[in-house]
Amino acid sequence: MKVELLPSSIPPTEAQFLVSFLVNDVVAFDAGPLGLMADLAKQERVRHVFLTHEHIDHIATLPILLENVYAPGPDCVELLGLADVLDFIHRDIFNGRVWPDFFELSTGDDRFVTGTPLVPLEPVERAGLTVTPLPVSHGVDTLGFLVDDGRSAVAFPSDTGPTDMLWTHLASAPRLDAVFLEVSFPDALADLATTTGHHCPASFAREIAKLDRDVRWIVVHRKARFAAEIARELAALGLPNVELVQPGVPYEF
Ligand SMILES: [Zn+2]
Ligand SMILES: [Zn+2]
């Protein structure tokens, strides 16, 4: 399985402002910088976009992607997310004001987009991947995802603070190679992390202790202003198997 966290700065750097993971070039998890890939052929290969929640850093360029890849005909991008999230996106973005109503404009044989509601804990199969939606704890209803291709598996918990169902499920998953877990704030802002449903290094350390498995812990979602401080605090904890994500670098599992 190939996994890439798309870069979200211009020019590409380690700074992460937005969230979009691309798996095997055809399935995306969130649409932060997805519509900014300079190679349009790469955008056209993306057929399924799973959405974790409606926060703007996770959906920022979804309208641009759908505009970029539209071609007359029945084939279109499939959006998968909680029914409420699909509804928010329709009402608040594709509403004929902020952006054309691509849902309304889609007819049987000429489509811009199609939406598929996800139910927590009910896996779906897309492009050779089994994707299981797992609820996490982020203030708004948010799904993490377990992605398994039958040989390897990774988890994208998305934005979350301390949570439990996710770890219970991952503990019994048939395989698990890596978890892309967030740390948004430094320890000095632990209260803000708690209020907003995010992690700081101290809560990250408590959280990964909940999963008794030998996995790679790949840290994502460091707020750019605090990225260096978070990196120093994580290093000081000396946790095994913890690394910082490298945006734009494909991981193979
Ligand atoms: Zn969020
Ligand atoms: Zn976020």
DSSP string, 163-226: -SHHHHHHHTSS---EEEEE--S-GGGHHHHHHHT---HHHHHHHHTT--S--EEEEE---GGG
User: Residue 248 C-alpha to ligand 1 middle, in angstroms?
Assistant: 21
Longest CA span, the chain: 57
Task: Give the distance (Å) from ligand 2 centre to CA of residue 18.
Answer: 7
What are the counts of helices (DSSP H) followed by strands (DSSP E) for the chain? 9, 14
Structure tokens at 189: 């802002």
How far, in Å, from the CA of 176 to the mean position of ligand 2?
Answer: 23
**Whole-angstrom distance, CA of residue 34 vs CA of residue 166:** 26
**CA 105 / ligand 2 centre spacing (Å):** 29
Instruction: Please give the pLDDT value at position 108.
Output: 84
In the chain, % helix, strand, coil (3-state, to 5) comes to 30, 25, 45
Print pLDDT tens along the chain (253 aa): 999 999 999 999 999 999 999 999 999 999 999 999 999 999 999 999 999 999 999 999 999 999 999 999 999 999 999 999 999 999 999 999 999 999 999 998 999 999 999 999 999 999 999 999 999 999 999 999 999 999 999 999 999 999 999 999 999 999 999 999 999 999 999 999 999 999 999 999 999 999 999 999 999 999 999 999 999 999 999 999 999 999 999 999 9
Ligand 1: centre distance to CA 118 (Å): 18
Average confidence score pLDDT of the chain: 97
- Which-ligand-closest: CA of 30? 2
**Amino acid letter, residue 102:** F
| pLDDT computed for residue 147 by the predictor | 98
Residues 129-153 pLDDT 10s: 999 999 999 999 999 999 999 999 9
Tokens for 157?
């918990």
Task: Give pLDDT tens digits for 46-68.
Answer: 999 999 999 999 999 999 999 99
pLDDT digits (tens, 9 = 90+) for 164-184: 999 999 999 999 999 999 999
